[in-house]
Structure 1
Amino acid sequence: MTLINPVGGAPASGGVAGSAIPMLRQYWNVIWNRRLLIITVVATTVAAGLILTLLADPQYTARARIEVAREQANITSVEGVQPEDAGRDLEFYATQNALLTARSLAERVSRQLNLSRNDAFFIAHGVDPDAAAEGVGATPAGASLTSAQRRQRLVVDTLLKHVSAEPVRGSSLFDISYTSGDPALSRRIADAWVRQFIQSNLDRRFASTTDAREFLERRLDELRTRLETSERELVRYAAANNIVRLETSGTGKTGSSPGMQTLASVDLQSVNAALAMATADRVAAEGQLNASRARGVSEGSLNNLSINNQRSKRAEVAAELAGMLARFEPDYPPAKSLREELTALDASIAREERRAVSAVQATYDAAVAREQGLRARVDARLGKLNTQERALIQFNIYQRDVDTNRELYNGLLQRYKEIGVAGVGANNVSIVDAAELPVKPSSPNLLLNLILATFMGLGIGLGVVLVLENLDETVIDPSKVAALFDASLLGTTPVSESGDHYVELGDPKSSIYEAYFTVGSNLAFATDHGVPRSFMVTSTVEAEGKSTTGMALALVLSRLGRKVVLVDSDMRRPAMHNNLGLVNNQGLSNYLAGDNNWEDLMQRSPIANIDFLSAGPQPPSAAELLSSDRLQKLVESLDKKYDHVLVDAPPMLGLADATLIARAVEGVVYVVESERVAARGVSSALQRLREARGKVLGIVLTKFKSKHTGYGYGYGYGYGYGRDEDAKSETGGAWKSGS
């Protein structure tokens, strides 16, 4: 049969079972059990924090804010060196954060403010410059430092300890804080820190272009020399080949330099244009000449004013002559005179026409001669140009070399100028808020320090508790009894409130009686026939409550109307007769030594239904007496007369008595004192009992401090719950023997 253990615990074979306590509850139980230790540790740390806070010198923190803008590192205006991405932003701002607390920056601030010679600086930080500087030591190379160098190094170390740089989340801002005992000094150093950071940033930017400038300067010198050499070669070749280049608005004939032509090509173009005009003039003159020859009258004569006037006059004379001949005879003198005048006019017109034809011929001849002369000049210029064009091939090679060198030189010169401008350009670091004079100390913060001390005390206290709990091998938690010892927990009994267990056992309403009543109830389920007819009570060491447990169980059984015999088998140190107010003149040792009349050895106890067999006189060897079969026979004889035989056995540690007695009884009730005996000792003793074929009925955890450990009893109701007689009467029904 299995009974749910009111105090918890895992089920054990053949005994009482229990429900496991949750892990959090177990931790809470441990904390509650050691709460006084935790409170002491917390109180100590809080007191120490309070004292240190009150004794600490006030510290003042000045804070300045700067903005560090993300900037592309450009060598020229053409392209960026670094791509923009989130990873590089994180790297950039992490680098800036490290630079803000760099040792080189602290050295700059120290030099600017001359802090190594400022005694107020050391006083504000509580540092003795002379004593502390001696501990700075030597350089890594082994060379000793001068006093000024040691003070300077001490200043730098102190600055780095008291400065902090923190980025403002989600922005490009940084807060630079400096803390010291002097508010004015804190502000000065904070301001100097940000200004020196800005200056150092400019210096780094300028220094970063030094190598580039030096490289470009060397390249510019080389290209300048190459350009001058190529230009001299070009001029020399042009002079040697009579090449003269003229600037034009177009592209040269040979595809050489754009906007340039040679003098020969320009001359050829002008002569060729004149030839074209001469040819046109010759063609026009030839046309006039052919026309005049075909008509007999030149076209020019028709346009001659003199000839036209004479022809007009001849027409008038001819008309007048015709009119006169119509009225007069041909020999009429005026008519004759008119004929003579007409003849003279014809002769004059003929002379003028001949002169006009000669002029057309002369014009034609001149046009032909001019055309032939210009054609000869064109042929001459063309030959010269062909020769020069062949020379221009090499000239253009020289020209391209000059152009290439000039472009390279101009490009590098432009980059050199850009780098020079970038070195002195705008800074990407700016001050957002200058440091203000602190008006109140930033530390010590009494409230914060007390809170931190409290949490520190809790942490230390919990750590100590966990260490002690792991080092403590005693049994504290009833729920672990079954798992530790492979035995059922019959119950737990509290520490005596009055200090006298036997007085409290006389009160059925006392907590200790209630606890043993529960043990008796659980013991009824230890066998299939109820409470064992014979059983012994033992423990690991003395003074664990073994005798009290035996006395209490006998009392509980007797009050239920059971006839009980209580046997004190501890013949080495008998004590139960004193608890009952009886004597120990004779007893168990007499019977085991050979006295067969055990009834004469029995004593009536002052408690109804309880008889008592004392240990008797101390024998030379108790183990030898117990190893005989007389003990088994005695138990069998007592079992016939009494309902229950309860044997108070000696403790297990170092003795064989209990293992010998265990073979003579039905089972063993094992007593373990809470927070006293190591679990390893209990396990070893139980193992000895089991090896001796003793049946462990269960374990009673005595002197259990339920109100101080937080484990509780009876599902948290305490030992006093349900003390009314009706409840006990109902529980008592489980005590009836099934035999």
Structure 2
Amino acid sequence: MPVASPVEADRISILRQYLRIAFRWKYVIIGVTVACVLLGLVITLLMTPKYTATATVEIAREANQVTSFQGVERETGSLDQEFYQTQYGLLRSRALSERVATQLRLVDDPKFYELFREREDTPAFRLINGRYPSTGKAERQRVAGEILLRNLSVDPTRLSRLVDITFTSADPSFSARVANAWADNFIQTNLERKIQATSYGRNLLQRQLALQKERLDDSQRQLVAYASAQQIINLPAQGGGSGGPTVERSIVADDLAALNASLAQATAERIQAEARAQQGGRAGASAEALRNQAINNLRQRRAELAAEYQRLMVQFEPGYPAAQAIQTQIDQLDRSIAREEARVSGSVQAEYREAQQRESALQARVNQLKSSYLDNRRRSIQYNIYQQEVDTNRALYDGLLQRYKEVGVAGGVGVNNVSVVDTADVPQRPSSPRLVLNLLASLFVGLGLGALAAFALEQMDEAIADPAEVERRLGLPLLGSVPKVTDGTAPRDELLDRKSDLVDAYLAINTNLGFTTEHGVPRSFSVTSTRPAEGKSTTALALATMLARAGKRTILIDGDMRSPSVHHLGGVDHNHGLSNFLAGEDNIEALTFPMSDLGFIAMSAGPIPPNAAELLTGNRLGVLIDRLLERFDHVVIDSPPVMGLADAPLIASRVEGVVYAVESHGIRSSLVKTALGRLTAANARIFGGVLTKFDARKAHYGYGYEYGYGYGRGEPKKA
């Protein structure tokens, strides 16, 4: 079987906790839900039916172009969102609503104000002979526009240019009239704004055009006068296109560019000549000498004669006539080679000097043109300023002239970018109220409020409702839960019936108690609770009975010397008991009495002392427990409650530990925590908690805890 992870276990635990809260407070949740549903039903039935009419219009980003000209309005192609938001704002404008109210004659119609229950106590709305006074028409127009706006809705269709204009009222035909009138008036106002903007823009452009023409003429005259005075001659640029600013070039700049290119070429040639000149002084090893055909032929002939001379030297002496003749030829060839190499080197040097002179001449001319160009540029600064002014004025003039022509044509076209797609029809069914939708909404609201109420009540409720909360809220190990005894039945009688649920419960508790120490059930322990009447005496009596039935010698001591109860169970008085021993009496036999039907010995509380806490502060209680453990296997003490008394902590410090009884549905967990803190401060060991008077029907889940007790006791069912 797969094991749930810690995260899944926590999730399941939280879910179970929510289910437990919901089941516990189910009647609160159901009550709140039913109340909300009934309230929603009543409100829905009392509401006046409303009818909604819808007209659909299309708002295009740009108007349909009948001509190729554009309007006066500034183009904002990248701001579509801004454009459409502006159109939606215009649809909701106060001016448009008042225009619709005026067109439909709603301003002076009393039925219109009665339809929307608009009754203002002002002079403008006081009827005189069945009519409104004319003096308050402006105020009534404002109020009528506000009424229409409150009942109007503008809903753009997502990812489209369609817009739904919806109007809601109690009259279906009136809703359709208003929706259609709203769409028509929006188109009319849009056209009027365009016509007004075109007329205004045409007049404005005409005035600006005259001013710009005058500026252009003045700037041209100023440019020509300055060029003549400074003798600035510029040529038009080659390949210059029309429609843009005038581009000109200077003659000096052209000459400088040409000479600068020639200078670069001359410098490259001078560098090459210089390199050849430097190689010429390397004993004939220059590149020019190596490439010279005559020198190469002479060197080849000399090599042949040198080889012939070396062959003769093998057989003859240097003075041999034939050898001397060859040597003479070799010397003559050496002088010829030297003359040719000198001639080549002189030619290279001459070329180098010529390249230097040409480069110097070009450099001087370039420097001269640079000075002229810089002087021309200094004089052309103001010229360029005048030229830029002329170009700017000409561009502005041409643009205004073109715009003026376009506006003149577009002003008479009258195109519109808004059109009606669907007109509003008279609605046949009311749009509100919607019974099913309202009931569903009331149901969900009721469930939510009920859940909040249940959660709030759960947070305020500190009672221990089921056994699981003993450990969760109090931090105590759960030894077991004890079912509530039927009214009129004594716990002693239930213990005598070995088949009762009470016996089964305490058998389980006694079994769990056996796992609290290394030697099994503690030999000495006390049973206490937070306050009286929580079932601690019954728990002490039952645990003593279970131990006795297990064959253990057990004694039950009534440690509650303020309100003793054990002697009532044994049918004796409490004239002799615990208080006598604590006061100094040592005869234990005289202080005990048998409870034969339950199988153990008991010791009553004895005479009630003036201050029980003073008797418990000594060591007599410890001596008593030690002496009793010599004769008995277990000592069980019925301790007083913890709250308000010092007896229980004093007793708890003398025994091995404490069994703590907690009443189900009867005590707040905060009080129990305070009592447990007192026991902890006294260094008492708490073995665990016992949930007494538990009623499974009042538990959070309401089921499951009753299973087990009484199993098999009913009449056997037929198969």
TM class, shorter-length: 0.5 to 0.7
Quick one: which amino acid aligns to residue 61 of structure 1? T
Q: Is the 8 A contact 2:71 2:407 kept in 1?
A: no
1:121 counterpart = 2:112:
yes
Instruction: Tell me, yes or no, if the aligned pair for 1:72 and 1:81 is still in contact at 8 Å.
Output: no
| SS of residue matched to 2:641 | coil
Q: Kindly state the Cα deviation for residue 107 of structure 1 after the two structures are TM-superposed.
A: 2.8
Matches within 5 A, 1:466-477: 466-476=455-465
Once the two structures are superposed, what CA deviation does each residue of 1:556-603 show, in whole Å capped at 9, x if it has no partner? 334434443332222223345446665444433333233333332323
C-alpha separation in 2, matches of 1:603 and 1:186: 97
The within-5 A match list for 1:418-567 is: 418=409, 420-421=411-412, 424-426=414-416, 428-476=417-465, 478-479=467-468, 481-482=470-471, 484-496=473-485, 498=487, 500=489, 502=491, 508=498, 510-567=500-557
- 2:601 is paired with a residue of what secondary structure? strand
The amino acid that maps onto 1:24 is L
Residue 414 of structure 1: CA displacement?
A: 0.7
Distance in 2 separating the partners of 1:42 and 1:595? 69
- Partner residue in 1 for 2:25: 34
2:207 to 218, 222, 234: 218
Please report how far the alpha carbon of residue 419 of structure 1 lies from its aligned counterpart in structure 2 after TM superposition.
5.1
In structure 2, the CA distance between the partners of 1:630 and 1:175, relative to structure 1 (3 Å rule), is same
8 A contact 1:478–1:489 mirrored in 2:
yes
Q: Is the Cα–Cα contact under 8 Å of residues 537 and 648 in structure 1 kept in the other structure?
A: yes
Query: How far apart are the structure 1 equivalents of 2:592 and 2:633?
Result: 16
Structure 2 letter corresponding to 1:46: V
The Cα of 1:609 is off from its aligned counterpart by: 1.2
**How many angstroms does 1:228 deviate by?**
11
Decide whether aligned partners of structure 1 residues 674 and 19 sit closer, same or farther in structure 2, where only a CA change above 3 A counts.
Answer: farther
Q: How far off is 1:455 after superposition?
A: 0.6
Change in 2 beyond 3 A, CA 1:219/1:705:
farther
Secondary structure at the aligned position of 2:643 is classed as coil
In 2: Cα distance, 1:547 partner to 1:64 partner: 83
Aligned counterpart in structure 1 of residue 60 of structure 2, from 40, 51, 69: 69
Which segments of 5 or more consecutive residues in structure 1 lack a partner in the other structure? 1-9, 11-17, 135-145, 234-399, 726-739
Contact preservation (8 Å) 1:122, 1:129: no
Corresponding residue of 1:311: none
Conserved in 1, the CA contact under 8 Å of 2:465 and 2:698? no
1:700 aligns with 2:687: no
Structure 2 CA distance for aligned equivalents of residues 402 and 691 of structure 1:
100
> In structure 2, what is the equivalent of residue 339 of structure 1?
none
Alpha-carbon displacement from aligned partner over 1:421-464 (angstroms, at most 9, x marks no partner): 47x322x2222222222222222222111111111011112222
Does 1:106 find its partner at 2:94? no
1:631 paired residue number: 621
CA separation of 1:19/1:99 partners in 2, compared to 1, >3 Å: closer, same or farther?
A: closer
Pairing 1:258-657 to 2, within 5 Å after superposition: 410-418=401-409, 420-421=411-412, 424-426=414-416, 428-476=417-465, 478-479=467-468, 481-482=470-471, 484-496=473-485, 498=487, 500=489, 502=491, 508=498, 510-578=500-568, 583-605=573-595, 607-657=597-647
Measure the CA separation in 1 of the matches of 2:518 and 2:642: 27
Q: 1:51 aligns with which of 42, 52, 64?
A: 42
Q: Is the 8 A contact 2:165 2:183 kept in 1?
A: yes
Q: Does 1:188 align with 2:177?
A: yes
* Partner Cα separation in structure 1 for residue 680 and residue 91 of structure 2: 74
Please give the alpha-carbon distance, in whole angstroms, between the structure 2 residues aligned to 1:55 and 1:89: 45
Pairing of 1:191-270 with structure 2 (within 5 A): 191-206=180-195, 209=198, 212-222=201-211
Q: 1 CA distance for matches of 2:660 and 2:392?
A: 113
Are 2:681 and 1:686 equivalent residues in the alignment?
A: no
Q: Percent identity?
A: 43
Cα 1:91–1:718, aligned 2, differ >3 Å: closer, same or farther?
farther
Cα contact 1:667–1:697 (8 A) shared by 2: yes
**Structure 1 residues 621 and 431 mapped into 2: Cα distance closer, same or farther (>3 Å)?**
same
- In 2 relative to 1, CA 118–33 (structure 1 residues): closer, same or farther, beyond 3 Å? same
Question: Structure 1 residues 571, 169: closer, same or farther in 2, change over 3 A?
Answer: same
1:659 CA drift (Å): 0.3
Change in Cα spacing, 1:46 to 1:195, as seen in structure 2 (3 Å) is same
Match of 1:669 among 647, 650, 659: 659
Contact 2:559 2:638 in 1 (8 A): yes
Q: Match of 1:546, as an amino acid?
A: K
Moved more, 435-444 or 494-503: 494-503
- SS of the equivalent of 1:198 reads helix
Which string of whole-angstrom CA distances, capped at 9 and with x for unpartnered residues, describes residues 43-79 of structure 1?
A: 1111211221222222222222222223379995499
Q: Does the aligned pair in 2 maintain the 1:129–1:154 contact within 8 Å?
A: no
Letter in 2 for 1:646: V
The separation in 1 between residues aligned to 2:12 and 2:218, in whole angstroms, is 100
Matched with 1:720 is 708
Which structure would you say has the larger RCO, counting Cα contacts within 8 Å and 6 or more residues apart? 1
What is the alpha-carbon distance in structure 2 between the residues aligned to residue 504 and residue 465 of structure 1?
A: 37
User: Which whole-Å deviations, capped at 9, do the CAs of 1:135-193 have from their partners, x for residues lacking one?
Assistant: xxxxxxxxxxx865554444344333322222333432222222222222222222223
Using structure 1 for the length normalisation, give the TM-score.
Answer: 0.62
- 8 Å CA contact 1:163–1:179 kept in 2: the answer is yes
Does the 8 Å CA contact 2:530/2:643 hold for their aligned counterparts?
Answer: yes
Q: Residues of 1 paired with 2:393 and 2:524: CA distance?
A: 126
Q: Tell me, yes or no, if the aligned pair for 1:216 and 1:416 is still in contact at 8 Å.
A: no
Q: 1:406 to 1:655 in 2, by over 3 A?
A: closer
Q: What SS does the corresponding residue of 1:130 show, helix, strand or coil?
A: coil
- Aligned partner of 1:249 in structure 2 is none
Instruction: Report the TM-score when normalising by structure 2.
Output: 0.64
> Which region of structure 1 is more displaced relative to structure 2, 483-492 or 181-190?
483-492
Kindly indicate whether the alpha-carbon contact (under 8 Å) linking 1:100 and 1:197 is maintained by their aligned counterparts in 2.
yes
Secondary structure in structure 1 of the residue aligned to 2:542? helix
Question: What SS does the corresponding residue of 1:117 show, helix, strand or coil?
Answer: coil
What is the alpha-carbon distance in structure 2 between the residues aligned to residue 227 and residue 169 of structure 1?
51
Give the secondary-structure state (helix, strand or coil) at the position aligned to 1:530.
coil
Deviation of the 1:668 alpha carbon = 0.6
Shift of 1:697: 0.4
CA pair 403-687 structure 1, distance change in 2 beyond 3 A:
closer
User: What is the rounded CA distance, in whole Å, between the counterparts of 1:555 and 1:495 in structure 2?
Assistant: 18
How many pairs are equivalent? 525
Q: CA deviation at 1:512?
A: 4.7
In structure 2, relative to structure 1, the CA distance for the partners of 1:175 and 1:402 (3 Å cut) is: closer
How do 1:87-102 residues align onto structure 2 when only pairs under 5 Å count? 88-102=79-93
Distance 1:490 1:78, change over 3 A: same
Q: 1: CA distance between counterparts of 2:570 and 2:140?
A: 86
In the alignment, the residues of structure 2 paired with residue 407 and residue 19 of structure 1 have an alpha-carbon distance, to the nearest angstrom, of 79
